[in-house]
Amino acid sequence: MRAPSKLDPKASLPSASTAGGPGGDLVDHYGRRIRYLRLSVTDRCDFRCTYCMAEDMTFLPRGQVMSLEECLRVVQAFVALGVDKVRLTGGEPLVRRDILWLMARVSALPGVRELVLTTNGSQLASMAQAVREAGVRRVNISIDSLRPDRFREITRVGDLSKVLAGIDAAVAAGFAGIKLNAVMLRGFNDDEFEDLVDFAVARGIDISFIEEMPLGDTGHLRADTCMTQDEVLPRLQARFGLVATGEDSGGPARYWRMPGSQTRVGFISPHSHNFCDSCNRVRVTATGDLYPCLGQDDMLPLLPVLRDAAGGHTDTALLGAIRQSMGIKPHGHDFDVRKPAPAVVRFMSLTGG
């Protein structure tokens, strides 16, 4: 296994040829242009999903978490470097206090084509309208089961009725797009995929099925629960007459359509249909760590730059650090669900989904 890089953001910058594209855009060593930032605004969450977190989580001290002003500076720097799509994620982004403040400012930035959100839906019943008014264009809402007891088992603490009310509120709020996300979990929800598609079809919204990724030690062997697109797609094709599309929503999902419905069925398949060659995104954690790849440990901490009073808090240093990170974007992940210890020890809730 190769050793991951941890770059010193204050070290001298690499030459332009290794740090970005000609127009100041972000281009990595493999020629992939980065236009999409996924920003985790908190590692905290009101759920404890079994595939995402350990049962007993210790969350970060607040002083280590970026302020919302710092989050905005990070987004502004990425936008100055050609990023035009921003996803707020977590943890659960809607439990972050004053998150609407950040949404309104990010969505108003010239250069931001799309501000989108990933949420577990627990707060949407009361927040969906305000989130839409703050400029969020599309939302992804995670829901792995439509059965209250099972939903509770998977999330450990979640209340399905709140999420269902949240989905209704999101539909009423008039987002340009709503997509449900369901992780395919053998032995937990593998008899519900058709029901989940029916649920999406009834609301005229999209749904994506995700292959479970080995991120963090959740106390179970991922190979026992992980299901792949190749197992599930034929089932859904037989039932719904799914037809492949070349549609690309700018993320990792690939889509299928069905006759007589506007619902698209997507798959996010890092194991069975690797999408790393076309990766266009990087992630920043709530602590300001820039991870060019979800599935590797290479990272560059931005907090020292953001809080460097001696450096005058200049955004020149921030821009330089972000450009520098292109030099450590790895070619792809090395996920292997059969290994008892995950290669990446960070939980998904820390890096941001």
Instruction: Name the residue nearer to ligand SF4 (CB basis): 222 or 323.
Output: 222
Please state the closest distance from residue 183 (CB atom) to ligand SF4, in A.
8
Question: What minimum distance in Å lies between the beta carbon of 170 and ligand SAM?
Answer: 12
In the bound state with ligand SAM, the residue whose beta carbon lies nearer, of 92 and 289, is: 92
Site of tokens 């979990």: 185
Asked if 120 interacts with ligand SF4 (CB under 6 A), we say yes
Nearer to ligand SF4, 142 or 263 (CB): 142
Site for ligand SF4 in 137-196 (CB under 6 A): 142
Tokens for 294, please give them. Answer: 């979800």
Q: Does 50 bind ligand SAM (CB under 6 A)?
A: no
Least distance from C-beta 209 to ligand SF4, angstroms? Answer: 15
Which partner in ligand SF4, ligand SAM, none is near 233 (CB below 5 to 8 A by kind)? Answer: none
53 touches ligand SF4 (CB under 6 A): yes
Q: How far is CA 104 from CA 65, 96, 220, 264, 304, in A?
A: 20, 14, 39, 29, 26
Helix, strand, coil % in the chain, rounded to nearest 5: 35, 20, 50
Shortest Cβ 38–ligand SF4 spacing (Å): 13
Cβ nearer to ligand SAM, comparing 87 with 323: 87
Q: How far apart, in Å, are the Cα atoms of 351 and each of 4, 43, 231, 269?
A: 16, 8, 28, 18
Rounded-to-integer distance, Cα 188 and Cα 174, Å: 32
Residue nearest to ligand SAM as judged by C-beta position: 353
48 binds, among ligand SAM, ligand SF4, none (CB under 5 to 8 A by kind): ligand SF4
Residue 191, Cβ density class (10 Å: 0-12 exposed, 13-18 middle, ≥19 buried): exposed
Does 295 help bind ligand SAM (rule: CB under 6 A)? no
β 254-257/264-268 pair status: antiparallel
* Nearest partner of 266 among 227, 313, 190, 208, judged by Cα: 208
N-term to C-term CA, the chain: 24
- The CA-atom distances, in angstroms, between 10 and each of 18, 154, 182, 278, 298 are 17, 42, 40, 29, 16
Binding ligand SAM (rule: CB under 6 A), the pick from 42, 118, 123, 145 is 118
Which amino acid appears at position 39 of this protein? L
Query: Is-contact 143 163, C-beta < 8 A?
Result: yes
Interaction partner, residue 283 (ligand SF4, ligand SAM, none; CB < 5-8 Å by kind): none
Where helices occur in 134-288 by DSSP H, the ranges are 148-155, 160-173, 193-203, 222-225, 229-240
* Contact flag: residue 265 with ligand SF4 (CB under 6 A): no
Q: Smallest gap, in angstroms, from Cβ of residue 326 to ligand SF4?
A: 28
Q: List contacts with ligand SF4 (CB under 6 A).
A: 45, 47-49, 52-53, 90-92, 120, 142, 348-349
Chain residues binding ligand SAM by CB under 6 A are 45, 51-52, 89-90, 92, 118-120, 142, 181, 183, 210, 212-213, 215, 348-349, 353
